[in-house]
């Protein structure tokens, strides 16, 4: 996964745990697509200060994910759901009654893992 996308996702999950300044800087840079210069000008700070604060915020986000693993868990669940949906599609198109019963049993097991 591309770093910018990953940081943006982590910001959505853990952003409120950052300082207000880091929260705003990361939002402007990763979600609003502002340049370092634009952010610096808007906040009245140097470009280097923006960069330093961005890096500190990124490190914190990755530390939160390492410790809590919310994004990893969410992505794992989304993958499972996609697999379940794929199995449901198979049911509709090409299986007999016995095969349908087996697939439905697999779906129940998968859903039980998510709750």
What is the secondary structure of 47-111 as a DSSP string? HHHHHHHHHHHHHHHHHHHHHH-HHHHHHHHHHHHHHHHHHHHHHHHH--HHHHHHHHHHHHHHH
Q: Are residues 26 and 79 in the same domain?
A: no
- pLDDT, tens digit (0-9, with 9 covering 90-100), for 38-83: 999 999 999 999 999 999 999 999 999 999 999 999 999 989 888 8
Q: Are residues 24 and 62 in the same domain?
A: yes
Q: Are residues 41 and 60 in the same domain?
A: yes
pLDDT of residue 115: 63
Q: Is 44 left (phi over 0), alpha (psi -120 to 50) or beta?
A: left
Q: Are residues 53 and 87 in the same domain?
A: no
- pLDDT, tens digit (0-9, with 9 covering 90-100), for 88-111: 777 767 777 788 878 888 888 888
Which domain range does residue 102 map to?
A: 73-114
Q: Are residues 61 and 77 in the same domain?
A: no
CA distance 112 to 84: 12
Question: How many domains does the structure of the chain reveal?
Answer: 2
CA distance 80 to 69: 17
pTM > 0.85: no
Instruction: Inform me whether the pLDDT recorded for 13 exceeds 90.
Output: yes
Instruction: Inform me whether the pLDDT recorded for 11 exceeds 80.
Output: yes
pLDDT of residue 15: 97
Q: What is the CATH number of the domain that holds 32?
A: 1.10.10.10
Q: Are residues 34 and 84 in the same domain?
A: no
Q: Are residues 55 and 36 in the same domain?
A: yes
């Amino acid at each position: 996964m591309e770093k910018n996308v990953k940081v943006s996702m982590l910001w959505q999950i853990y952003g409120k745990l950052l300082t207000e300044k880091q929260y705003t800087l990361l939002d402007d840079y990763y979600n609003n697509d502002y340049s370092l210069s634009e952010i610096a000008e808007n906040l009245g700070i140097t470009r280097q200060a923006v960069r330093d604060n961005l890096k500190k915020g990124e490190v914190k986000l990755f530390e939160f994910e390492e410790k809590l693993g919310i994004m990893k868990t969410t992505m794992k669940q989304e993958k499972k759901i996609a697999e379940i949906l794929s199995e449901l599609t198979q049911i509709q198109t090409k299986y007999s009654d016995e095969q349908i019963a087996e697939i439905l049993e697999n779906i129940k097991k998968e859903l039980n893992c998510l709750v």
